[in-house]
Structure 1
Amino acid sequence: MKWAFAVFAMVSLSECLVQFSLEKGKSAREVLEEQNAWETYRQKYPYKPTAKFNGLSAVGSESMTNDAGLSYYGVISIGTPPQSFKVIFDTGSSNLWVPSIYCTSAACNKHAKFNPGKSRTYRKDGKPLHIDYGTGSMTGFLGYDTVTVAGLAVTNQIFGLSQTEAPFMKYMQTDGILGLAYPSLSASSATPVFDNMVKEGLVEQDLFSVYLSSNNQGGSVVTFGGVDTNHYSGSITWIPLSHELYWQITVDSITVNGQVVACYGGCQAIVDTGTSLVVGPQSDIDSISVWMGAFSLNGDYIVNCNDVGQLPDVIFNINGQQFPLPASAYVSESQNYGCLTGFSAEGGNLWILGDVFLRQYYSIYNRDQNVVGLAKAR
């Protein structure tokens, strides 16, 4: 599911980093399955993971939770005095937005709402905002206020106040989104939070890094301004961006048992903490599924749980290096569907390397050099 987000680790004060720790919670899908409502929602609101793609420093930590099966979020505050919100840290979008008191959607009524009248530092902009995500869209308008992330106060930060939100969002524990992609992707030309962190000298380096814990473990962290060596082993592979809009890279091929099974001749992929699964073109995902012995059911790819131990690694060949994805990483057990693979198909040619991939690899997003770094997570 889209809303699968990431981040993570502890570092010294001298490194001038900002970080968050995360832990696991019940997913929106699990809630709907318990209510026997999952199939109704997935048919009425089909999942479209590629929709969104059309000086002074300090250190702070916040506890975070895993939502929607694979999404990661933490607590930020907006305004003076501060109003708190749970947001997903999303490298696949660029806007910050939260619900507002002007929103009457069922999703908003289930979440915290920002009240401009209670903040003495709020300044209205009024420009309209519309953003599409895999699980629906939001509409609203823009305003300015102080946004505090783990103790870093970003002044005069532009952000969205939602007026409508997709029905599916009411099942999610998170209130809003904090986008970490490039400014050129931002709806209504709103400057992203990280860009203002850099502009205001709040981080030492123009980069941030992400660690996602596996299974039910806590400890996931987003680190603004640096890299935490405690969360990876071996060397970092630096991959130049092929497009400076998303964090988009070139994948050379995808192999199984030494055979190229997808991404023939190379393909484009977005490294996205905001997408739960690995998403690819229909023909490629079907090809990979054949090697797994998986079958498709209502968009899910299902394998026999007894066969998981014998399933092959799916290897992503990127910039001359191999990045294996073992079955233990790409298979999960569902309450109603047995064992699901972490692969999803959608039309188009772009791949999305979401949380299923990123839990295996510590990721670094370097805006100064326009590269993504990947290293084996630990």
Structure 2
Amino acid sequence: MRWLVVVGLVALSECLVRVPLMKVKSMRENLEENGMLKEYLEKFPYSPVKFLSNDQNKKVTYESLWNYLDLVYVGLITIGTPPQTFKVVFDTGSADFWVPSILCYSDSCDTHKRFNIRRSSTFKFPTRLVHTVKLRYGSGDILGIVGYDTLKIGDLEAFRQAFVQSIWQDHAFGSLAPFDGILGLAYPNMAHDRRTSVFDNLWKKGRISENLFAFYLTSGGKRGSMLMLGGVDHSYYSGELRWVPLTKQQHWQVALDRITVNGTIIACPDGCQAILDTGTSLVDGPDDDILNIQNIIHAQHIFNNMYVIDCNTTTQLPDIVFVIGGVNYPVPARSYIRKSNPLGTCISNFKTLPDMFSSNIWILGDVFLRVYFSVYDRANNRVGLAPAI
């Protein structure tokens, strides 16, 4: 479970940094067009990338994101001097920061931008002995070495930022993955040794004014997806933010009261847990509950973890309502159903969890987070949700 996106805010601020959005094909679309999706999902059944105020004086940094057909959001960062540019997933479901290295010997690195230590005058190895670290994701592993260099996100700079340079990575991160690396935004105790936590580095060195960040994810190919670092731009949501305390300070995990359809409980009847994960494309849940939802929306199993629906019936499907902190968060059919142009079918965006997860856990990925603007408040260990504009 790992994946991701990023950026900052505050209207009327002259310090606002905006990076234009671009749209490219998603890995799933590439697989569909090449007739490889079924084979890929059988080999790699789970996602490869895993797990405030309106004060004009506050400095907020904006980082623009790409919307990959409502499946993957990435933004640009640079590392080194002179800067080397990478496309990364900003992932609240993981904490490590990595990009491919020029030293990588696996084929999956060949089609991605790779960091060249010889071209950066500011790169440093750790003072102690260099050793290999292993990062584990839902569909594969990364092997790499830790180094230090200057990281830039928009106009924010983090000097001597630790990061992992992959020297080997599984095929799941290969040519069809529309990103180079991952920048984790979960709690630092999830990182392999806490050194690679970018957000903590920015906060401790005074680069951001508030100890929080926020995501605005667009849908339907619209431009404007944004990661906000150090503040919240209230123009991106309607109503008020509803704050929910974390139940665990590793992932961004909260209590989920229940899941309903038309007022009837269909899952999580006695309460369960939910993780807000920008690095996960879909909504993942326990087998029995997901199967119940697929039956309610009349989705038919075709292979692996994929269910399809008659596109002519989608306008008649009900909202799936997630109740969090006593507040209803409905997700309409237009959000949980995706039309696949290559296949000419409509696909359910609900998926069963890998066996590694508890049967009491739900992963609320981009399907949920496109509907609701989300704020991740490290200072108070809570998340805020409000309907996205």
Sort the TM-score into its range (normalised by shorter chain).
over 0.9
**For the residues of structure 2 that align with 1:319 and 1:61, how far apart are their CA atoms?**
29
Which residue matches 2:365?
354
Matched, 1:108 2:109: yes
- Mapping of residues 138-287 of structure 1, within 5 Å: 138-170=142-174, 171-287=176-292
**For the residues of structure 1 that align with 2:161 and 2:49, how far apart are their CA atoms?**
27
Unmatched runs of 5 consecutive residues or more in structure 1: none
**For the residues of structure 2 that align with 1:96 and 1:47, how far apart are their CA atoms?**
20
Which residue matches 2:309?
303
Contact 1:4 1:68 in 2 (8 A): no
Shift of the 10–81 alpha-carbon distance from structure 1 to 2, 3 Å rule, reads same
Count, aligned residues: 374
Which residue matches 2:384?
373
Which residue matches 1:90?
91
Match among 374, 377, 382 for residue 363 of structure 1:
374
Cα distance per residue 1:212-264 (max 9 Å; x no partner): 00110110000100001111000111000000000000100000111100011
Contact 1:47 1:134 in 2 (8 A): yes
**TM-score (structure 1 length as normaliser):** 0.93
Which residue matches 2:293?
288
Contact 2:104 2:166 in 1 (8 A): yes
Shift of the 247–21 alpha-carbon distance from structure 1 to 2, 3 Å rule, reads farther
**TM-score (structure 2 length as normaliser):** 0.90
Shift of the 331–6 alpha-carbon distance from structure 1 to 2, 3 Å rule, reads farther
Letter in 1 for 2:347: L
Letter in 2 for 1:316: F
Matched, 1:341 2:348: yes
Cα distance per residue 1:96-131 (max 9 Å; x no partner): 100001102222110111111211111112232211
Query: Which structure's residues are more often strand, by fraction?
Result: 1
**For the residues of structure 1 that align with 2:5 and 2:151, how far apart are their CA atoms?**
20
Contact 2:6 2:65 in 1 (8 A): no
Shift of the 360–227 alpha-carbon distance from structure 1 to 2, 3 Å rule, reads same
Letter in 2 for 1:352: I
**For the residues of structure 2 that align with 1:37 and 1:3, how far apart are their CA atoms?**
23
State the 1:11 CA deviation: 3.3
Cα distance per residue 1:9-53 (max 9 Å; x no partner): 76336496666564432111111222211211211222157964x
Which residue matches 1:324?
330
Cα distance per residue 1:263-322 (max 9 Å; x no partner): 111111110000000000001101111211112222112211111000000000000100
Which residue matches 2:54?
none
- Mapping of residues 18-37 of structure 1, within 5 Å: 22-37=21-36
Which residue matches 1:44?
43
**For the residues of structure 2 that align with 1:243 and 1:3, how far apart are their CA atoms?**
17
State the 1:61 CA deviation: 4.9
**For the residues of structure 2 that align with 1:267 and 1:340, how far apart are their CA atoms?**
26
**For the residues of structure 2 that align with 1:367 and 1:322, how far apart are their CA atoms?**
24
Give the 3-state SS of the residue equivalent to 2:239 in structure 1.
Answer: strand
Which residue matches 1:65?
66
Shift of the 3–308 alpha-carbon distance from structure 1 to 2, 3 Å rule, reads farther
**For the residues of structure 1 that align with 2:230 and 2:279, how far apart are their CA atoms?**
20
Q: Which piece of structure 1 moves more, 261-270 or 161-170?
A: 161-170
**For the residues of structure 1 that align with 2:352 and 2:21, how far apart are their CA atoms?**
28
Matched, 1:131 2:135: yes
Which residue matches 1:11?
10
Letter in 2 for 1:343: F
Percent of pairs with identical residues: 44
Unmatched runs of 5 consecutive residues or more in structure 2: 52-56
Cα distance per residue 1:318-356 (max 9 Å; x no partner): 001000000011101112261111100024321100000
Contact 1:58 1:152 in 2 (8 A): no
